[in-house]
Structure 1
Amino acid sequence: MSAAMITTSVVETLRAWRRSAPGPLWLAGPVLLIVAIPVADWFLPPDIHLAHLLVVAVAVTAVGTGPRATALIGALAVLALVVAGLERQTLVTESVLVELSALLAVCAFLVLFTRLRDRRERELVRVRSVSDAAQRVVLRPLPERAGPVTLASHYRSAEADAIIGGDLYAAARIPGSTRLLIGDVRGKGLSSISDTAIVLGAFRAAAHRMIPLPELVAYIEDAVRWGLAEFSEPEEDAAERFVTAAVMDIPDNEPVVHLVSCGHPPPLLLGGRTRAALALTVPEPSPPLGLGVSPAEANSADGADGCYLPATFPFEHGHRLVLYTDGVSEARNADGDFYPLAERATAWADKAPGPLVERLAADVRAYTGGRLNDDMAMIVVQRD
């Protein structure tokens, strides 16, 4: 585990501890310490002085509470130091005056620190809530059912504290079939969210239309080309930005799946004639989105149909499809070996979609030791 991960874990633990700790209970320790120090000073020899430990009470309070409680405990600590000085008749001595000045300075600093910390935490909560809402709008959760198919998904971003990144998926219902998209933007993490939004927006705008699958992919290609060129920074090369994707159509009344692959890893079919997972490799894959046919070619007589050729595979009742991005298939263990997705999917082929996708996701994390170097997305589709 890296130092950054350890630090983040400790900070989150302290925050959770502070949020869960009742105020009066948290203050009990500092108050007892403030009371105990003057009492102990009364019985200790003159050369032993414990008043400098009063700062511990203020520091503990600052960790667990806010500025008001810290100021209160600080005032009590100063009062206890004055009482201890009066008991020993040393209040006006240079040593006690220095201790008193230092304690006042530390109390003022801790009150200011807790005030700034609480303000910062409130700002982070607001920013995090806005960010989470925005990201959930971009990557909407998949429905559990779409027509005669059951869907289960899992997503994990390579960026800490991010809900989405460069991987994407979406589903849409049209009369008589269910359409699915899974894709992977070149790049990862938060920097690729704009490209993710372009692809998802294009799919949602066109997937509900009663147009053939090649025309749907051509529409997405056109939108991606425009978006990548429109929103590229001057120093960026739009030609270096692309999106691999698999777009499929699952008819309600026909036991098949139609698939257009734009440079994306092939889905796995579970439950076929052989027990082993079968990779649905498209004979004529298309280029990744952003690198395909131009709008002029797509509008020609056979532009879209000639470039985006769908392949048809059997997909019968009870069969499952495992759709994934290369964040899953190219995950590596400590020895540099790729994750054996087909082997693990075959071993757990009897699981329902929800348990299967969660079991695979947990196994990927265990296989890599928790180190996720790329975004990861998976969908399990079952025809009921």
Structure 2
Amino acid sequence: MVLEWLPAVVMVFVAVVDLTAGPGVGLLPLVSLGPAFAGLIGTWRRTALIGVVALLLCVGLGAYDGLFGARRGYTAMASVAGVTLAAGAAAVMRGRREAELASVRSIAEVAQRVLLRPVPRAAGPLKVAVSYTSAHAEARIGGDLYEVVASPHGVRVIVGDVQGKGLAAVETAALVLGAFREAAHDEPDLVALASRLERGVAREANGEKFVTAVLAEVRAEEGLAVFLNCGHPAPMLVRGDGSVRFPKPAAYALPLGLGAHGGEEPMPYHVAFVPGDQLLLYTDGVTEARDGHGAFYPLEERAGPLLGHSDPEAALEALRADVVRHAGGPPHDDAAMLLLRYHRR
């Protein structure tokens, strides 16, 4: 709003000073600042309109000051006309760039809906909520990934983080999610599921990309959550009594895409997961968010929002807002969180 009025304010200021101080000050050419500022923030039509007003003001002030008996009045008019033309051209180019940017953002939003499609809010006895915070306000999509699939073997979940950024990371994330959505229904256990994802990443990425990921399988009838961790931050388990723990494997498997380098065989592990419990899977953009003093976000100490809200989406949004407050703005890395809440019957 302030910027919209800036051209008029500048022209009025120049006119008042010119009328007060007289022609000797030589401020008349500064009337051209009106259309110059208009070209920065408005359309070419608005810029042209303000240019016409500035030209009429220049003629009026020049006549009042008696400048048309010499070249000064005509020079000021030429200055206003030239700046108006240049500002109008700039406004046209800016409008085209903004239209192109809007188109690109629209395409990115569609790509995001395809890549990170909405997860089901409920899967069996589980309530599900997700949160994605981009490291850049302009970004709509990144290398973090998540998915929830209700399979014949239980509710299966993946949360992962592709190494690197940009379109190459997005392409790898799409590859992993596509393979997971298919294999989650077919493979009998998490080891076979991870092997299938490993083959897909290794084949397509040719060793140039890898993906840290944690796979989870919730067996509600058994009261168990089974994990397979491929170099990813350990999930956070919040018990119904408020206690917090981070189930970790005896040995981490290599990230997906690095299986050819050997390392530990993927070994699943399990913990009890019963009504009232909550499971948070996340990427390192959460725990590595730093405050102004360089301190990492203390996730274990800040699990309160997950206990203070009956709605899992509200709980996760409160936790996301707490991460942003800690970092003093969006984290420096993309931050994805997926919450599974085993609701009480």
TM-score (norm 2): 0.85
The code of the aligned residue for 1:100 comes to M
Distance 1:371 1:89 in 2: 58
Which residue, out of 239, 247, 250, partners 1:280?
A: 247
Matched, 1:351 2:300: no
Per-residue deviation at 1:31?
11
Q: CA deviation at 1:161?
A: 1.7
Residue 328 of structure 1: which of 286, 297, 305 is its match?
A: 286
Give the Cα–Cα distance (whole angstroms) in 1 for the partners of residues 22 and 290 of structure 2. Answer: 65
| 2:86 counterpart SS class | helix
Q: Which residue number in structure 1 is paired with residue 275 of structure 2?
A: 317
Report the AA paired with residue 216 of structure 2: M
Correspondent of 1:146 among 105, 113, 123? 123
Distance 1:97 1:210, change over 3 A: same
**What is the match of residue 244 of structure 1?**
212
Task: Out of 95-104 and 329-338, give the one that drifted further.
Answer: 329-338
Q: Residue 208 of structure 1 aligns to a residue in which SS?
A: helix
- Contact 2:223/2:272 (8 A) holds in 1: yes
User: Is 1:257 the equivalent of 2:234?
Assistant: no
**Would the alpha carbon gap of residues 219 and 47 (structure 1) be closer, same or farther in structure 2, given more than 3 Å must change?**
closer
2:328 pairs with 1:377: no
Amino acid at match of 1:323: L
Residue pair 1:202, 1:220 contacting (<8 A) in 2 also? yes
Would you say the 8 A contact 1:135–1:163 is kept in 2?
yes
Q: Classify the secondary structure of the residue corresponding to 2:243.
A: coil
| Map of 2:103 onto structure 1 | 126
Using the TM superposition, name which of 199-208 and 274-283 deviates more: 274-283
Q: Is the 8 A contact 2:32 2:79 kept in 1?
A: no
1:172 maps onto 2:149 in alignment: yes
Q: Distance in 2 between matches of 1:165 and 1:325?
A: 12
1:51 offset after TM fit, Å? 3.4
Asked whether the equivalents of residues 283 and 335 of structure 2 are also in contact (C-alpha less than 8 Å), the reply is yes
Corresponding residue number in structure 2 for 1:337: 295
How far does residue 369 in structure 1 lie from its aligned partner after superposition? 2.9
CA distance in 1, matches of 2:204, 2:269: 28
Is 1:289 the counterpart of 2:251? The answer is: no
Equivalent pairs, count: 341
Q: Aligned in 2, Cα 1:214/1:113: closer, same or farther, shift over 3 Å?
A: same
Q: Give the stretch that moved more between structures: 83-92 or 175-184.
A: 83-92
For the 8 Å contact 2:43–2:91, the answer to whether it is kept is yes
Helix, strand or coil: the match of 2:103? helix
Q: What CA RMSD, in Å, does the superposition of the two structures yield over aligned residues? A: 3.2
For 2:204, the aligned partner's letter is G
The question of 1:365 aligning with 2:324 is answered yes
Report the 3-state secondary structure (helix = DSSP H, G, I; strand = E; otherwise coil) of the residue aligned with 1:374.
coil
Q: Residues of 2 paired with 1:29 and 1:341: CA distance?
A: 51
Matches within 5 A, 1:1-384: 29=8, 33=12, 37=15, 41=19, 47=24, 51-175=28-152, 177-188=154-165, 190-209=167-186, 211-229=188-206, 238=207, 241-271=209-239, 275-292=242-259, 307-345=265-303, 348-352=306-310, 353-370=312-329, 372-384=331-343
Residue 191 of structure 1, CA deviation = 4.6
Question: Are the counterparts in 2 of residues 155 and 164 from structure 1 also a CA contact under 8 Å?
Answer: no
Partners of 2:11 and 2:33 within 8 A in 1: no
Preserved CA contact (<8 Å) 2:282 2:338: yes
Q: Which amino acid aligns with 2:300?
A: A
Deviation at 1:152, TM superposition (A): 1.2
For the structure 1 residues 381 and 136, does the alpha-carbon distance in structure 2 shift closer, same or farther, using more than 3 Å as the test? same
Q: Where do 5+ consecutive residues of structure 2 fail to align?
A: none
Give how far 1:149 is off.
Answer: 0.7
Contact preservation (8 Å) 1:168, 1:196 = yes
Aligned partner of residue 185 in structure 2, secondary structure: coil
Distance change in 2, residues 1:374/1:47 (3 Å): closer
What fraction of aligned residue pairs are identical, expressed as a percent?
36
The answer (yes or no) to whether the contact 1:214–1:260 under 8 Å persists in 2 is yes
Over residues 124-148 of structure 1, what are the superposed CA-to-partner deviations in whole Å (9 max), with x where a residue is unaligned?
A: 1111211222233212232221222
Give the letter for the 1:270 counterpart: V
Cα distance in 1 between the residues matched to 2:302 and 2:49: 59
Alpha carbons of structure 1 residues 48 and 265: separation in structure 2 relative to 1, 3 Å? closer
